[in-house]
A and B are shown apart, each in its own frame.
Chain A
Amino acid sequence: MNQNPAIGHNQQPKMTARGVNVFYGQKQAIKDVSIDVSSDHVTAFIGPSGCGKSTFLRCLNRMNDTVDSARVEGRIELDSQDIYAAAMDVVQLRARVGMVFQKPNPFPKSIYENVAYGPRLHGLARNKADMDAIVESALRRAGLWDEVKDRLSESGTAMSGGQQQRLCIARAIAVDPEVILMDEPCSALDPIATARIEELIDELRGRYAIVIVTHNMQQAARVSQKTAFFHLGSLVEYDDTSTIFTNPRETRTKDYITGRYG
Chain B
Amino acid sequence: MSAPAVPLAERLQERGPTDWTAPEMQARIARRYRGERNFRRLGMLALIVAASFLAFLLFTIVRDGWTGFQRSEARLEVTFDAAVLGVDPAAVRGPDGAALLARADYPGLLLKAAEQLGPASDTLSDAAWLELRDALLADPALLGKQASLWVPVRSGIDLLAKGKYDLSAPADSRGVSDEEVADWRWLDGQGRLRTGFNMAFLTGADSTEPELAGIGGAALGSLLTLLITIAIAFPLGVLSAVWLEEFAPRGRLADLIELSINNLAAVPSIIFGLLGLAFFLNIAGLPRSAPLVGGITLALMIMPVIVIAARVAIKAVPPSIRDAALGIGASPIQVVFHHVLPLALPGIMTGTIIGIARALGETAPLLLIGMRAFVTDVPEGITAPATVLPMQVFLWSDDVQRGFVEKTSAAILVLLVILIAMNSLAIYLRNRFERRW
A residues neighboring B (CB under 8 Å): 61, 63, 66, 68, 91-95, 98-99, 101, 103, 105-108, 117-118, 121-122, 157, 168, 171-172, 175
B266 on interface, CB distance cutoff 8 Å: no
* CB pair A95 B328 closer than 8 Å: yes
Give min CB distance, B221 to chain A, whole Å: 41
B417 on interface, CB distance cutoff 8 Å: no
- Whether A105 touches B323, Cβ cut-off 8 Å, given contacts A68-B250, A157-B437, is yes
Residues of B within 8 A of A168 (CB): 324
Residues of B within 8 A of A93 (CB): 329
Give min CB distance, A74 to chain B, whole Å: 22
* Other-chain residue from A94, A103, A106, A157 in contact with B329 (beta carbon distance below 8 A): A94
Residues of A within 8 A of B343 (CB): 108
* CB pair B328 A92 closer than 8 Å: no
| Residue of chain B at shortest CB distance from A65 | B326
Residues of B within 8 A of A99 (CB): 323, 327-328
| Residue of chain A at shortest CB distance from B343 | A108
* CB pair A121 B326 closer than 8 Å: no
Instruction: Identify 11 residue pairs between A and B in the complex whose beta-carbon atoms are under 8 Å apart, listed by A's number.
Output: A63-B323, A63-B327, A68-B250, A91-B330, A93-B329, A94-B326, A95-B328, A95-B329, A101-B324, A103-B320, A108-B435
Give min CB distance, B327 to chain A, whole Å: 4
Residues of A within 8 A of B437 (CB): 108, 157
* CB pair B329 A107 closer than 8 Å: no
| Residue of chain B at shortest CB distance from A120 | B338
* Other-chain residue from A68, A98, A106 in contact with B327 (beta carbon distance below 8 A): A98
Please report the total number of B residues contacting A with Cβ < 8 Å: 22
B331 on interface, CB distance cutoff 8 Å: yes
* Other-chain residue from B322, B329, B338 in contact with A175 (beta carbon distance below 8 A): B329
Q: How far is the CA of A93 from the CA of B330 in the complex (A)?
A: 11
Name the residue among B323, B329, B334 with the largest chain A CB count within 10 angstroms: B329
Q: Scan B297-309; emit 1 where CB is below 8 A from any A CB, else 0.
A: 0000000000000
Residues of B within 8 A of A107 (CB): 321, 324-325, 339
Residues of B within 8 A of A122 (CB): 329
Interface secondary structure of B, over-half rule: helix
Q: How far is the CA of A24 from the CA of B289 in the complex (A)?
A: 57
B residues neighboring A (CB under 8 Å): 249-250, 318, 320-331, 334, 338-339, 343, 435-437
Give min CB distance, A47 to chain B, whole Å: 22
Residues of B within 8 A of A66 (CB): 322-323, 326
| Residue of chain A at shortest CB distance from B323 | A101
Residues of A within 8 A of B338 (CB): 117
| Residue of chain A at shortest CB distance from B437 | A108
Q: How far is the CA of A92 from the CA of B437 in the complex (A)?
A: 27
* CB pair B328 A117 closer than 8 Å: yes
Residues of B within 8 A of A106 (CB): 324
Q: How far is the CA of A98 from the CA of B327 in the complex (A)?
A: 6
* CB pair B329 A91 closer than 8 Å: yes
Give min CB distance, B247 to chain A, whole Å: 11
- Whether A108 touches B327, Cβ cut-off 8 Å, given contacts A101-B320, A103-B320, A121-B334, is no
Name the residue among B250, B321, B324, B436 with the largest chain A CB count within 10 angstroms: B324
Give min CB distance, B313 to chain A, whole Å: 15
Residues of A within 8 A of B325 (CB): 107, 117
- Whether A91 touches B320, Cβ cut-off 8 Å, given contacts A107-B325, A157-B436, is no
| Residue of chain B at shortest CB distance from A106 | B324
* Other-chain residue from A108, A118, A157 in contact with B328 (beta carbon distance below 8 A): A118
* CB pair B320 A98 closer than 8 Å: no
Residues of A within 8 A of B321 (CB): 105, 107-108
Residues of A within 8 A of B331 (CB): 91
| Residue of chain A at shortest CB distance from B251 | A68
Give min CB distance, B254 to chain A, whole Å: 11
Residues of B within 8 A of A157 (CB): 436-437
Give min CB distance, A186 to chain B, whole Å: 17
Name the residue among B249, B322, B437 with the largest chain A CB count within 10 angstroms: B437
Interface contacts beyond A95-B329, A121-B328, A171-B324: sample of 4 additional A-B pairs, CB < 8 Å, sorted by A: A103-B320, A105-B321, A107-B325, A175-B328
* CB pair B324 A105 closer than 8 Å: yes
Name the residue among B328, B330, B343, B437 with the largest chain A CB count within 10 angstroms: B328
Q: How far is the CA of A171 from the CA of B328 in the complex (A)?
A: 8
* CB pair B328 A98 closer than 8 Å: yes
* CB pair B436 A108 closer than 8 Å: yes
Name the residue among B321, B322, B326, B327 with the largest chain A CB count within 10 angstroms: B327
* CB pair A63 B436 closer than 8 Å: no
Residues of B within 8 A of A101 (CB): 320, 323-324, 327
Residues of A within 8 A of B320 (CB): 101, 103, 105
* Other-chain residue from A105, A108, A121 in contact with B330 (beta carbon distance below 8 A): A121
